[in-house]
């Protein structure tokens, strides 16, 4: 989690409030729905239910919604937006009501459905991505400032291992090809052919999901239908087992990240 000074720098750079940036930073650095659900599923479900009901009643005109809709909304949020801090859901509705998101909240007055919840959170996710990039950039710059003038590979490896151990709910995106190449070179990262095979197979599904998500973003947010079609075609090629070069490159990177993630879990 970045220090207060770093978060203030982010606020100054992008013109956002400290409260907003602080909530997003909590989500980025593991204080998120996914981590809460892993620690205490019942508490996570209860907390999300309270928040979702608050948003429905506050921002959708006090609509009367059946309990089953709230329950499905909670399951949906955990599955699709587990990377958010719980309080970011309120922030998403607040920003939407203020006109800061690419969504028309007026069309949802008197209505609360899982579909509209997804549209609002997706719009928020797109808004949030710029802030996340700036948080990570500022943190990276601060880390560079703190580094020794001469890069110590052993110290870097030790710090990466400590970082791995601190992750409460790691995903493959927390790891990189740089991690894979470094720990493979040091001899620390060892994996069997079966482990490689499983990572390669799992990576295909994740790559398909990433291409499909990128295609949706290009179509709905960046309004680039041609690129969206190319990305959809790459995803479909992956499904059909006829991968193109872009798909294979991404799949390879994801497979390496999965191998590092699974190896790191054994080091805790």
pLDDT at 147: 66
Q: Are residues 122 and 158 in the same domain?
A: no
pTM: 0.54
Q: Does 235 fall in a domain?
A: yes
Q: Are residues 231 and 165 in the same domain?
A: yes
Q: Are residues 192 and 117 in the same domain?
A: no
Q: Are residues 128 and 9 in the same domain?
A: yes
Secondary structure of residue 247 in the 3-state scheme: helix
Q: Which of 41-55, 144-158, 249-263 has the lowest mean pLDDT?
A: 144-158
Q: Does 167 fall in a domain?
A: yes
Confidence of residue 148 (pLDDT cuts 50, 70, 90): low
From 68, 100, 134, give the residue that closes a domain.
134
pLDDT at 183: 92
Q: Are residues 103 and 210 in the same domain?
A: no
Question: With b meaning 16 or more CB within 10 Å and e meaning fewer, what string describes 126-165?
Answer: bbbeebbebbeebbeeeeeeeeeeeeeeeeebeebbeebe
- By CB neighbour count within 10 A (0-12 exposed, 13-18 middle, 19+ buried), where does 253 fall? middle
Q: In this structure, are residues 148 and 251 in contact, taking their beta carbons and an 8 Å threshold?
A: no
- By CB neighbour count within 10 A (0-12 exposed, 13-18 middle, 19+ buried), where does 225 fall? exposed
Q: Does 81 fall in a domain?
A: yes
pLDDT (average), residues 29-34: 88
pLDDT at 16: 84
Q: Does 145 fall in a domain?
A: no
Query: Domains in the chain: how many in total?
Result: 2
Secondary structure of residue 1 in the 3-state scheme: coil
Q: Are residues 24 and 108 in the same domain?
A: yes
Q: Is the pLDDT of residue 144 over 90?
A: no
Higher-scoring residue by pLDDT: 119, 240 = 119
pLDDT at 149: 44
Percent of the chain clearing pLDDT 90 (strictly above): 46
Confidence of residue 151 (pLDDT cuts 50, 70, 90): low
Q: Are residues 116 and 163 in the same domain?
A: no
Q: Does 146 fall in a domain?
A: no
Cα 169 to chain centroid, rounded: 12
Q: Which of 50-59, 66-75, 238-247, 248-257 has the lowest mean pLDDT?
A: 238-247
Q: Distance between CA atoms of 51 and 53, rounded to whole angstroms?
A: 5
Q: Are residues 88 and 165 in the same domain?
A: no
Confidence of residue 80 (pLDDT cuts 50, 70, 90): very high
pLDDT at 64: 79
Q: Are residues 157 and 261 in the same domain?
A: yes
Confidence of residue 230 (pLDDT cuts 50, 70, 90): confident
Q: Does 221 fall in a domain?
A: yes
The answer to whether the Cα torsion of 72, 75, 76, 81 is positive or negative is positive
Q: Are residues 16 and 125 in the same domain?
A: yes
pLDDT (average), residues 107-130: 90
From 134, 168, 198, give the residue that closes a domain.
134
Find the domain containing 55 and state its range: 4-134
Q: Distance between CA atoms of 98 and 18, rounded to whole angstroms?
A: 17
Q: In this structure, are residues 10 and 131 in contact, taking their beta carbons and an 8 Å threshold?
A: yes
Q: Are residues 114 and 173 in the same domain?
A: no
């Amino acid at each position: 989690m970045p220090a207060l000074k770093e978060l203030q720098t982010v606020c100054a750079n992008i013109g956002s409030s400290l409260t907003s940036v602080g909530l997003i930073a909590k989500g980025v650095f593991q204080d998120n729905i996914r981590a809460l659900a892993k620690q205490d599923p019942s508490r996570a479900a209860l907390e999300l239910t309270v928040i979702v009901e608050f948003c429905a009643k506050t921002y959708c005109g006090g609509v009367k919604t059946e309990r089953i809709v709230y329950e499905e909304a909670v399951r949906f949020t955990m599955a699709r937006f587990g990377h958010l801090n719980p309080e970011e859901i309120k922030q998403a509705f607040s920003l939407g009501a203020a006109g800061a998101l690419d969504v028309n909240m007026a069309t949802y007055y008197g209505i609360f459905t899982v579909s509209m919840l997804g549209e609002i959170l997706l719009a928020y996710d797109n808004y949030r991505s710029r802030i996340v990039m700036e948080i990570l950039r500022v943190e990276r710059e601060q880390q560079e400032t703190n580094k020794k003038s001469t890069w110590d590979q052993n110290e870097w490896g030790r710090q990466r291992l400590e970082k791995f151990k601190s992750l409460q709910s790691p995903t493959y995106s927390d790891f990189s090809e740089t991690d894979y190449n470094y720990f493979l070179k040091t001899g620390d990262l060892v994996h069997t052919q079966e482990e490689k095979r499983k990572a390669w197979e799992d990576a295909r599904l994740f790559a398909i999901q990433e291409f499909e998500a990128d295609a949706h973003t290009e179509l709905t947010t960046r309004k680039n239908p041609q690129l969206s079609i190319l990305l959809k075609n790459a995803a479909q090629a992956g499904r059909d087992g006829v991968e193109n070069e872009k798909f294979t490159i991404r799949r390879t990177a994801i497979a390496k990240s999965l191998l590092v993630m699974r190896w790191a879990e054994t080091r805790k």
